[in-house]
Each structure stands twice: as structure tokens, then as C-alpha cells.
Structure 1
């Protein structure tokens, strides 16, 4: 039984980690960090977890990390670098923030607006897109979880770029994101009266920070710079991401490439050609559904991908990586069926 600590346990991804680990046969939660709510019971912060026997929230300084086998850091970017740089050098860490995703510190500063504060830790960080970095993750001490938007887009595009099946200079990624992706902090634009009964585009024109991950990962795959056209939209839903990707290529060949690439992946489901996934079919699960359709314009294809931003896009991915790091079966604690309706 491995002892687990979660820093940032009072946020959505922290609560999701607790929900998942509660059904895990080889992990027990030893410490919960939440500086702003230190001293409170987890059942008071998140009543849906009140049936669990959990430690009270404490500050990070109160945790004895000598007793911890693996720590999840579900902290905001910048804060995560500061905290992780002070943790024991032999502690296994899965970071859910953006702080270690970009290998080039200058790219981090470009997209996140502040200098990288943990350069030594960045050198050892492994990018946490499990299906494509599995062997590196098994041997890693520090794993950097991907952005939820970045994960969705990569599941929909990586096999196609790697197989050279699409025009790399003409990729359009249209993405719909549920509101929990913005975190739990109070924000005026996320109030019910401001958000419900409509949806809107944001970070238009190539300013979204997850573009840094797309640029990094797609360019490495292709062996040359690749830049996608990406526009996210905020929708009035609690969970889920739906990506619609427009590419130039043969639709049937693209569908076959997905079936080949994901045939042995436990969490990636490729739906029959012409069918389209829905966020309602992956809600609360660690699954990602991918579909391919042809377009009326010959030589064009439409790829759709759906996942739960809090699970497969963040906390589920983090637990998948932690399982690998600790030598546990990768699917442990993650095979629950989606919630429907």
C-alpha cells in the first residue's frame, strides 16, 4: 500500500484525485494540502467526499514527506514550481500544473509570463501524455501532466502526424471546453448568469497557453515546425471537452491509422467510421472517444475527440502516470464506466 499526498486538494482536480484514489487497491491518502483551507475537513470543503475517511487539510509545511511515496501537485502554475523545488529530491511527483510541460524555459516564460523558477527539476521532468511517453514515465521521478485541451488535441492528431497522413500546414482545431477547466476560484465571467444559455470563443488568434504544448509536441513528431490554428470555446457544462479537427487527408486512411495506433490502448476508443463522439458518453471517466468522418470536399476529413477534462484530461491521467511510476497496473482505479445520463 503506497502513501499518497495531494497538494492543492481543495481544487477541482484535487477532489477528482481523491474520488479516483478512493477506489484504488494499492494507494491510501496520507496527507491533503490546501493552504487556503488548512484546518478544515475535506467533507466540509467537498460534501460529496464526506463518506470517506480522509485526513484534514493542512499546509504543505505540515506534511512529513518522509512518509510519502508519491505526491500529486494540483497547484496553480508558478506556485507549483516554487513548491516542488523545495520537496525532497527523491520524492516521486506528478504535477498537474503547467509548470514543467514545456521543455524550453524560454518557451515557458513566453507563454506563462514569468521566468522558470525550477530549472533543475525541469531537466528531469517527463511529459505526461501517458499513451505516448509510457516507458519514460515508468522511470521518471517527476512527471508533468498535460493541459486538458492539449491532451484532447494530441489524441486527435499525433497518429496522423506520425504517419504523415495529413497536410501539416492546414490543421484547424476547434475545441469546446466545460467550465470546470477554469478552476474553482471565483470569477465574474463564470457566474451562472454570465455563462449559462450561451457559449463563446476565447484566446482567439493563437494566444491560448496550450499552444505551447502543441508547438512542442507536433514539431518534434514531424521533425519540423508545425503550428495548428486553434480556437477554444467555453460552454455552459460542468465537465467535458469536444475537439473538432479539420484536416486535409484521406478519411478512410485516417480512421485506419487511429485503429492501428490505439488498438491496444485501454482508455482510447475509436468509434466506427462516420460516427461522432459526445462528451455525454465519457463523463466522469478516463476514456477518450475518437471519430472520423469524410467531408463533402474530397480529400478532407473531420476528426472528433471527446474526453472528460477533469479525468482523462487531468486527474485520471495523473493517476494513470502514478500507477506506472509505482509499478502498479496502469488501469488500476480508472476502469469505472462513464456516468450516463
Structure 2
């Protein structure tokens, strides 16, 4: 069965990544693409790397006929998705890639995003889209909220350790490095080549990064009590990729075993042999996550390193994986592309 797909916000990085991945999907067909400022343009004009594909012209969301659409990916900016999705047909299945529905508590949303939620009923309906941990809920969901790319990386490294009870929940430090595409495609002075290249810097330090809202929500839920982590992201002058180095108090072999056991049957999660560590280049352009564990020189402490591609498994690839479940397709459909190397 062929499913008709709409991509809203197709002129951004995650929109383009959705189109790239759907192009080889066996059961998805792109029926509509939307953009705001670039409405009326061909996708090949916006992204020449997609010129080999036959795609619908970009149009305004209000111009799309949703009557024949089976599922819509919403790749719009934060705070825009909630109002757009609230106005879409009530029977339309939706995977949202923004932050608008990730947090279940309206008060938490207002705390981290600085404004009241515009669609609290939908916020309560949305299922959190970390596929390997919410697979059953996602299958029956109408609205799935994609995770933050940083939040996904940290959770893949830590959630199984919380569930297995092998670490001290009050001593978790996440040091994360992210590529520049995670900041989106809008023009920003600090992302110009001359401003960004040949250096790196920490940002949102001291507990101010918005993805901490997801860590608080998900880790506390998994533990059954409040869990607060230390988290500092850094921006690297590379296009794609996230690498999180996580410091935990726990026996290193037990930490490695908990991760290996939890992900033993997960296609996209690869736990390396003990002592081996991954690189962002190992997963570039793919839906795979690689995780490594080493012991620390301080007894009873371990270092977990997790890496994924922020545009793929951290966003658009995750979105397609969730859509596969929602549409009854093979979960891995369209997502088995090998990483790009070099």
C-alpha cells in the first residue's frame, strides 16, 4: 500500500532530509510540500541535490488539499507548529519535528520556552517520539512529538542505565558536541563561516538549555523520582553529527552490560565492545546510533560515549521510523542506508 505524505516546512534542513530519505521509501509517496517564503518554487531550486527527484512544487500550507494525505511531517520552527497542527484536519496523522509537543506538562513548556502553549489539548494527546522506548504508544498515536536531537543522544546513553539501576542518579554529567545544522537554516551571524570555523564554544551553560526539559521529564519518569543532570552542549564547526560524552558513577562493566542487553534487538542501536568508542563519522547520514563504554581511572566510575546524526536519527530519520509504526509499515523501511564515509 502506498501512503501519501505531506512535508510541511520542506525548505529547512530537516524538511530536506525527510525528502531525501522518503525518496527511497517503498511505501511513502510525497504528495505535498510546503514552504513560506519559498512557496511557488521547485524543490530543486531550493535544494539542487534533490533535482533528480520528481517532486510537487512548494506551496503555502493553506493551499494543500489534505483530503488524500495519510500522514504529515511537520518540520516547522518551534512555536509555529502548535498553531498549524491545531488547524489541520482532526483525522490526519502527524509527526511533529519541532519542540512544541515534547513536554507533557504545560507549566514545563512555559518554563523552557517562555510562553504558554497554544494547543494544550494536543499537548496532552501527543506521544513522545523516542522510538525504542515508546514503540507501542507510537503505533496507535495520531500525533507524535519528535525528540530534540541532543535529548535523544543523551537518553540513548543513559535511559537503560536508569532502568537497570546501575548508576548513581545524582551524579550524571553530559558533555555534548553538536554540528551546526542543529541550529537550523535561518541566517544567524554566529553561524557564518568566518564566525564559526576554526573554533568551538559552549552554549546554554549552567542549566539553561531547553533540552534539559526533556531530560528532566524522561529521566524522572524512568526513575520514578526526580533526576537532574548536568548538561553542557558545545557547537563544533562541522555540518552534521552529535557526540555526547557522559560521566556516571557506576561499575563500568555493569554499565556496558546494561546498554548491550537493552539494545540487543534494536536494529539502529549499536553498542560497541567494551573499551571501544564511536565517532560522529561512523554514523553520518544514517539512522544508526553507536555507543561505547570505558572505565575511568577512578574506581566505580564509567564514561559512556554516544553518537548519532542530528538530522537523521536525531530528527528526520527518527520521524520516518515513527511514521512507519503509525502507518503499519516495516519499522526500518527507507532507513537502512549505510553511513556516508569519508
Partner of 2:237: 236
Deviations along 1:178-197, whole A, 9 cap, x unmatched? 00000000000000000000
Q: CA RMSD in A?
A: 0.4
Q: CA deviation at 1:330?
A: 0.1
- Quote how far apart the aligned CAs of 1:120 are: 1.4
Count the aligned residue pairs: 341
Give, in angstroms, the shift of residue 14 of structure 1. Answer: 0.1
1:42 equivalent to 2:43? Answer yes
In the alignment, the residues of structure 2 paired with residue 11 and residue 114 of structure 1 have an alpha-carbon distance, to the nearest angstrom, of: 24
Quote the Cα distance in structure 1 between the aligned partners of 2:307 and 2:79.
29
Deviations 1:99-151 (A, max 9, x none): 00000011001100111001111121000000000000000000000000000
Q: Distance in 1 between the 2:250 and 2:124 partners?
A: 37
Measured in 2, the distance between the counterparts of 1:22 and 1:297 equals: 49
SS in structure 1 at match of 2:281? helix
Within 5 Å, give how 1:187-266 maps onto structure 2.
Answer: 187-266=188-267
Aligned residue number for residue 169 of structure 1: 170
**Which residues of 2 match residues 91-110 of structure 1 at below 5 A?**
91-110=92-111
Which residues in structure 2 correspond to 1:113-152 (within 5 Å)? 113-152=114-153
Inter-partner Cα distance in structure 2 for 1:254 and 1:107: 30
* Structure 1 partner of 2:340: 339
SS in 1 for 2:156: helix
In structure 2, the residue matched to 1:155 is 156
Q: Are 1:314 and 2:323 counterparts? A: no
Per-residue Cα deviation, 1:37-83 (whole angstroms, up to 9, x for no partner): 00000000000001100001000000001110000000011100010
Q: Distance in 2 between matches of 1:289 and 1:176?
A: 15
- Matches of 2:122 and 2:205 in 1, distance apart? 32
Query: Does the residue aligned with 2:144 lie in a helix, a strand or coil?
Result: strand
Is the partner of 2:291 in helix, strand or coil? strand
For residue 307 of structure 1, report the CA deviation from its aligned partner: 0.2
- Paired residue for 1:29? 30
Deviation at 1:169, TM superposition (A): 0.5
Q: Which runs of 5+ in 2 are unaligned?
A: none
Output the CA distance in 1 between the equivalents of 2:200 and 2:43.
32
SS at match of 2:122: helix
Secondary structure of residue in 1 paired with 2:175? strand
The TM-score normalised by the length of structure 2 is 0.99
C-alpha separation in 2, matches of 1:332 and 1:288: 17
Shift of 1:239: 0.2
**Runs (4+) off by over 4 Å:** none
**d(CA) in 2 for partners of 1:123 and 1:210?**
19
3-state SS in 1 of match to 2:29: strand
Tell me, what secondary structure is at the counterpart of 1:274?
A: coil
Q: CA deviation at 1:35?
A: 1.2
Please give the secondary structure, in 1, of the residue aligned with 2:158.
Answer: helix
Match of 1:183 in 2: 184
